A = this chain, B = another copy of it.
Amino acid sequence: MIKDATVTARLMSLFPFLQGAPAPSIETFFAHGSLVTLEAGNHVCLEGRECMHLALVVEGSARVYKLGDNGREITLYRVGEGESCILTASCILSNIPFPAFAVAETAVTAVVIPAPRVTGWLAEWAVWRNYLFGLVAQRLSNVISVVEEVVFRRMDQRIASYLLEYGTPAGEALSVTHQQIASDLGTSREVVSRILKDFESDQLIQLSRGALQLLDPVVLQQRAENR
């Protein structure tokens, strides 16, 4: 049960669908939701497990990924503030085990809703239904983008986009390891290191231990677009 008025106000603004809900639905939401905190590095969900709760993230970020036999990983998407994991929702709704891993990348605070409520509210509550279907569409197109990326773009283009997406201004250090990039993009650390070294010798970036600096975002953008 969530009672603290500061917390409920923050949740109403993070999850705007609640604002469109009738008062009794909002009461039910706070009555059955509970606030939990996970430390960074903890697994939120393991592949093949049954999903007992739907988590709506209040603070922090979780990464949803697939793990290959060879130990490689690829990130399917991240779940951040105001978002929720539709994989969990679709597992709850169709009774299938969770088809990926989810791990807290930072400390994560979330509202968790027990599975029976998730399905029950679908029938009773239009804004909840719309919220869940909206998530579905978003995640499905996220995962389709991953397919598109992996199939149609070369790894050097994808790494260039990745570095630009971090959005650090030129000159500022980007704190990311080669292994993190590899796990996000579904390749090996060796491939990432080789491409980053190519970028460095073209003076697009500068490498240092556990970090790198963008030197020339304009040319990096051209590399991302294969120009």
- On A, residues with C-beta under 8 Å from B are 66, 68-70, 72, 74, 76, 86-87, 90-91, 93-94, 96, 99-100, 122-123, 126, 129-130, 133-134, 136-141, 143-144, 146-148, 150-152, 186
Given contacts A96-B137, A139-B140, are A151 and B150 in contact (CB under 8 A)?
yes
Residues of B within 8 A of A186 (CB): 147, 151-152
In the complex, the answer to whether B74 meets A138 with C-beta atoms within 8 Å is no
- Given known contacts A72-B152, A148-B66, A151-B68, is B134 in contact with A123 (CB within 8 Å)? no
Besides A74-B151, A143-B143, 12 more A-B contacts (Cβ < 8 Å) are A66-B148, A72-B151, A87-B140, A90-B133, A100-B144, A122-B133, A129-B129, A136-B140, A139-B140, A143-B144, A147-B186, A150-B150
9 A-B pairs, CB-CB below 8 angstroms?
A76-B147, A90-B140, A91-B137, A122-B133, A123-B126, A129-B129, A136-B136, A140-B143, A152-B186
A186 to B126, CA, bound (A): 39
Asked whether A151 lies within 8 Å of B66 as measured between CB atoms, the reply is yes
Known: A90-B133, A137-B91, A137-B93. A147 touches B152 (CB 8 A): no
Closest residue on chain B to residue A72 by CB atoms: B152
This protein's copies in its complex: 2
Point out the residue from B69, B72, B93, B99 that lies within 8 Å of A133, measured CB to CB: B93
Q: Distance (Å) between the CB of A23 and the closest chain B CB?
A: 19
Residues of B within 8 A of A72 (CB): 151-152
Taking a contact as CB atoms closer than 8 A, the residue among B68, B129, B136, B140 that contacts A122 in the complex is B129
A185 to chain B, nearest CB (A): 9
